[in-house]
Structure 1
Amino acid sequence: MTSEPRTLGVVLGGASVEHTISIRSARAVIAAADPERWRTIPFAVSRSGRWLSPSQSQDVLEAIALGAPEEIPEPISRAGAPVSMEVTAALIECDAVFPLIHGLTGEDGILQGFLEILDLPYVGSGVGASAIAMDKSRCKQIMTQTGIPVAPWISVTCEEWRADSVAVIRRAAGLGYPHFVKPSRGGSSIGITRVNSREEADEAISAAFACDSEVLIEEAMPLPREIECGVLGSLDDGMPLVSPPGEIRTRRDFYDYTAKYEDPDTELIAPAPVDRATTERIREMSLQAWRAIGAEGMVRADFLVGPDDQLWLGELNTIPGFTSASMYPRLFEVSGLPLRQLIDRLIELAIERHERRRRFSAQADGEPRQ
């Protein structure tokens, strides 16, 4: 006798600049999820952070499939809380939730904290690891303490920039040219500028501050190769699965938003044509970084590899893309794990973690008070 499929909530959209990418990722996951195992329920979130009901969310996705803009519309009425009682009730009925809001409010621990409050199993890292990975400056500090090589960098607050922009530009010049200016918290290369001279610095730093209150400025590696590696699993469930590395090739100055999602000439090569020693270093460092931040479920580690095999970890993504142009699912597909099975495994990990935490909580409650 076939059991009824369980309910999987898929959260998409959001206030992040990666709103459109989130919609594409969610549509890919919904299309690939095994209908015999999962009944998917979409939860679309507008750019202002207001959640649509499941029926409204479904209507939006159907309209997008017919050619409507990839945009979650604002509700007609914006009175009341951003998350209505109807939405909350529907969420609580889900057996698991797959958060696919990339960037701020979705990948930085905020959405994870909300799902924790609702006591729901959810895919991916918890609050702490999500927040650390999203904050490039603090993540770099942890990687440095762990012994993982990263690009030389400085971080700058908005207050420092306003107080003495000339001094900030002078500090950045100490990294040499070219260097990169980027928001400390952000994704999809939005707000990132390659700075080739002191004359370009003011505009680049101002653009990054338009996206975040803290800016990261880091040295540019000469002639780098963009290499990515995926990690899948749980630290409480044996050794996580680490994918072979993949390479991204672009004709643009660097792997920016256009190269990622709009340029047809961008190539995704999986597995990457790198030697065995470099492959093993990348895989070992990906797992080391995963452990350092306490990640769970899924992480994509992004590296730069120089002509002399110099290796820098660029950043960690706790909610990698699942679009047709995304490397994470492709890396596991070449590892023998197709998208449908990858989704199944991620959901299983989420449910296992939730059940494990419930057992720990029950054991703690049963212990005698001191």
Structure 2
Amino acid sequence: MDKAAVAVLFGGRSSEHSISSATAGGVLRAIDRDRYRVIPIGITRDGAFVLEDDDADKFALDPERLPEVVDNGTRVLWPEAAGRRELRVRRADGTIDSLGDVDVVLPILHGTHGEDGTIQGFFDTLEVPYAGGGVLDSALCMDKHFMKIVLAAAGVPVVPSITVSAREWVGGPDRVRADAAPLGFPLFVKPARAGSSVGVSKVHGPEEFDDAMALAFAEDDKVLVEQGIVGREVEVAVLEGRDGAPSRASLPGEIVLTTREFYDFEGKYLGGDGAEVVCPAALTDEQVAAVQEAALRAFAAVDGKGLARVDFFLADDGLYVNELNTMPGFTPISMFPKCWVASGLPYDELIAELIEIARSRG
């Protein structure tokens, strides 16, 4: 049987370029080559689509030197739609070669221009199947402000917050401080449309507020100021059902903090001390069922496709959804794969499942 051609797409123009590239290293190393023909495609920080070497080690996660996609002079030429799926590459010398038909794209992209519905709309236009979220759920979950509106409307509890635009902050910082005051301290200040904890601060008192706002606005012109919920940080991995089957939720995992204030970029990716990913989490059967049910409700509320990681705070007064990630961290040590491994689905089979979900839709 012919192998299905999978274009693994990574890198991108967002601040999470290196994390996407490191994810590609894990995926390229684990994907079943007996089952799939792999076409690695990198997106440079300037947005050029380049044909990459099929070398997982090139994109290994090294805290001393984060991986990135470098412009090698090639340009990937996507299919021209109208039912065609031939992928071509223009080499640095100008010659054009066929890479054969592509069966599915695996876009392991984080952040803007990758996780916000834009690349999903591009592939919808080309009529090329792709794994992961669609246009709507990607766009909704990328913007934490609108995600909260949708979840709250569906009766899913969310962390109390206010949203502040750059114009509002410049025009009336005192009013913003007054609006945030009922939330109390500590607060979390975060960009509305960023991931991997980039631009996020924990604010312990009024004297730290302005600096936290400046850091967040450096990443986005819309910022969330959230109440600091006291509780356990619990996360659930969700997979869309295939061929009409219902969506599935993994066993929950937990971020256990010891000396770190919150699960920041260093703790997630650079080997920083003070935070540990534990899966499965030490929860009662009733708590596991409640978290899984809430995760599936949240996934349905945003019209979830493909996959998502649903992040919760488990507080004394119940569950609060913190956010949904439609392309969560996907390195072998990331929470999403670890939760599925703990649930009986190995990393290589998880990659295959994402691909096959996409093919069943396409």
Return the TM-score normalized by structure 1.
0.87
Query: Which letter does structure 2 place at the counterpart of 1:152?
Result: P
More strand by share: 2
CA-CA distance at 1:62 after TM superposition? 5.7
Among 189, 195, 220, the alignment partner of 1:181 is 189
Task: Indicate if the aligned counterparts of 1:183 and 1:192 stay in contact, CA closer than 8 A.
Answer: yes
SS of 2:53's equivalent? Answer: helix
Task: Indicate if the aligned counterparts of 1:60 and 1:72 stay in contact, CA closer than 8 A.
Answer: no
The whole-number CA distance in structure 2 between the counterparts of 1:236 and 1:60 is 33
1:106-142 deviation per Cα after TM superposition (whole angstroms, max 9, x unaligned): 1100111111112111001110110001110000011
1:70-97 deviation per Cα after TM superposition (whole angstroms, max 9, x unaligned): 11124569xxxx8656459968821111
Among 300, 304, 317, the alignment partner of 2:313 is 304
1:326 equivalenced with 2:334 (yes/no) = yes
CA-CA distance at 1:298 after TM superposition? 0.7
CA-CA distance at 1:27 after TM superposition? 1.3
Task: Indicate if the aligned counterparts of 1:148 and 1:289 stay in contact, CA closer than 8 A.
Answer: yes
1:253 equivalenced with 2:261 (yes/no) = yes
CA-CA distance at 1:162 after TM superposition? 1.5
- Measured on the aligned residues, the alpha-carbon RMSD in Å equals 2.2
SS of 1:10's equivalent? Answer: strand
**1:34 to 1:171, Cα distance in 2 relative to 1, 3 A:** same
Among 68, 85, 96, the alignment partner of 2:104 is 96
Among 43, 47, 50, the alignment partner of 1:49 is 47
The whole-number CA distance in structure 1 between the counterparts of 2:162 and 2:211 is 17
Report the number of matched residues: 343
The whole-number CA distance in structure 2 between the counterparts of 1:203 and 1:210 is 11
SS of 2:183's equivalent? Answer: coil
Query: Which letter does structure 2 place at the counterpart of 1:158?
Result: A
Match of 2:68 in 1: 71
Instruction: Select between 60-69 and 128-137 the one with higher mean Cα deviation.
Output: 60-69
**1:210 to 1:110, Cα distance in 2 relative to 1, 3 A:** same
1:58 equivalenced with 2:58 (yes/no) = no
The whole-number CA distance in structure 2 between the counterparts of 1:9 and 1:322 is 16
1:156-194 deviation per Cα after TM superposition (whole angstroms, max 9, x unaligned): 111111111121122112211111110001101110111
Task: Indicate if the aligned counterparts of 2:332 and 2:347 stay in contact, CA closer than 8 A.
Answer: no
More helix by share: 1
1:243 equivalenced with 2:250 (yes/no) = yes
The whole-number CA distance in structure 2 between the counterparts of 1:159 and 1:235 is 44
1:230-252 deviation per Cα after TM superposition (whole angstroms, max 9, x unaligned): 11123862211110101111231
Task: Indicate if the aligned counterparts of 2:166 and 2:221 stay in contact, CA closer than 8 A.
Answer: yes
**1:92 to 1:228, Cα distance in 2 relative to 1, 3 A:** farther
Question: Structure 1: where are the runs of 5+ without partners?
Answer: 355-370
**1:19 to 1:309, Cα distance in 2 relative to 1, 3 A:** same
Match of 1:8 in 2: 6
SS of 2:195's equivalent? Answer: coil
SS of 1:330's equivalent? Answer: helix
Question: Structure 2: where are the runs of 5+ without partners?
Answer: 79-87, 91-96
The whole-number CA distance in structure 2 between the counterparts of 1:91 and 1:280 is 46
1:294 equivalenced with 2:303 (yes/no) = yes
CA-CA distance at 1:200 after TM superposition? 1.0
The whole-number CA distance in structure 2 between the counterparts of 1:339 and 1:76 is 33
Task: Indicate if the aligned counterparts of 1:95 and 1:120 stay in contact, CA closer than 8 A.
Answer: yes
Query: Which letter does structure 1 place at the counterpart of 2:53?
Result: Q
The whole-number CA distance in structure 1 between the counterparts of 2:61 and 2:153 is 50
Task: Indicate if the aligned counterparts of 2:26 and 2:56 stay in contact, CA closer than 8 A.
Answer: no
1:197 equivalenced with 2:194 (yes/no) = no
